[in-house]
Structure 1
Amino acid sequence: MSHPHPVARRMYDLVEPIGLMPYFADESDQALMALGLRNPWDAYFAGRAAPFGGTVPAEVVHAVFYNFAPGEVARHLPRVWELTTPEAALAARERGCVAGLRRILGDLADTPGIGRAGDLLLTAATSAPVEGRALFSALRALPVPREPVARLWHAATLLREHRGDGHNVALLAEGIGGTEAHVLHALSVHMPAKEFGRVGHLPAARLTAVIDGMRSRGLIGTDGWLTDTGHAAKERVEAMTDRLAEAPYNALGPGELELLAADLAPISATIRAVFPS
Structure 2
Amino acid sequence: MTTIARRGKSSLDLLHSMIYFAPEAADEFAALGLDRGLMSYLAGRSAPMGAVGAGVVSATFYNFNPAKVAAEIPRAWSIAAPSDVIAARFRAVDGALRRLLGAEVTSDLVATTAELAQAATQDLRPDGKPLYAAHADLAWPEEPHLRLWHAVSLLREFRGDAHITALQRAGLSGLQALVLHVATGEGFTAEAARRTRVWSEDEWAAGVSELRQRGLVDADGAITEQGAALREEVETETDAMSAGPWESLSGDQLDVLLGNGSQLSRALLAAGALPPGLFAKR
Q: After the TM superposition, which segments of 4 or more aligned residues of structure 1 sit over 4 Å from their partners? A: 190-194
Q: 1:107 to 1:76 in 2, by over 3 A?
A: same
- Bigger drift between 255-264 and 239-248 goes to 255-264
Residue equivalent to 2:169: 173
Residue equivalent to 2:3: 6
Residue equivalent to 2:97: 101
Any idea what the Cα deviations from partners look like across 1:12-48, whole Å, max 9, x if unmatched? 1221010102212111121111111122211101110
CA contact (8 A) 2:216 2:226 kept: yes
Q: 1:190 to 1:61 in 2, by over 3 A?
A: closer
State the AA in 1 paired with 2:46.
A
- Partner Cα distance (1:194, 1:153) in 2: 28
Give, in angstroms, the shift of residue 195 of structure 1.
2.1
Q: Is 1:271 aligned to residue 259 of structure 2? A: no
CA contact (8 A) 1:46 1:86 kept: yes
CA contact (8 A) 2:100 2:273 kept: no
- Partner Cα distance (1:226, 1:30) in 2: 38
CA contact (8 A) 1:114 1:149 kept: yes
Structure 2 residue corresponding to 1:69, chosen from 43, 65, 72? 65
Identity of aligned residues (%): 36
CA RMSD of aligned residues (A): 1.9
State the AA in 2 paired with 1:275.
A
- Bigger drift between 7-16 and 88-97 goes to 7-16
Structure 1 residue corresponding to 2:155, chosen from 146, 153, 159? 159
Q: Is 1:58 aligned to residue 54 of structure 2? A: yes
Alignment of 1:139-150 (within 5 A): 139-150=135-146
State the AA in 2 paired with 1:87.
S
Structure 1, unaligned runs of 5 or more: none
Alignment of 1:1-277 (within 5 A): 6-54=3-51, 56-189=52-185, 194-198=190-194, 201-273=198-270, 274-275=272-273, 277=282
SS at match of 2:3: coil
Q: 1:263 to 1:204 in 2, by over 3 A?
A: closer
Give, in angstroms, the shift of residue 264 of structure 1.
2.3
Residue equivalent to 2:277: none
Give, in angstroms, the shift of residue 262 of structure 1.
3.5
Structure 2, unaligned runs of 5 or more: 275-281
State the AA in 2 paired with 1:28.
A
- Bigger drift between 203-212 and 120-129 goes to 203-212
- Partner Cα distance (2:129, 2:187) in 1: 30
Q: TM-score, normalised by structure 1?
A: 0.92
Any idea what the Cα deviations from partners look like across 1:186-219, whole Å, max 9, x if unmatched? 1110899752433585333222222111111111
- Partner Cα distance (1:38, 1:69) in 2: 18
CA contact (8 A) 2:194 2:204 kept: no
Give, in angstroms, the shift of residue 249 of structure 1.
1.2
Any idea what the Cα deviations from partners look like across 1:223-261, whole Å, max 9, x if unmatched? 321221111111111222222221111111112112223
- Partner Cα distance (1:208, 1:243) in 2: 32
- Partner Cα distance (1:194, 1:202) in 2: 11
CA contact (8 A) 1:37 1:43 kept: yes
The number of residue pairs the alignment matches comes to 273
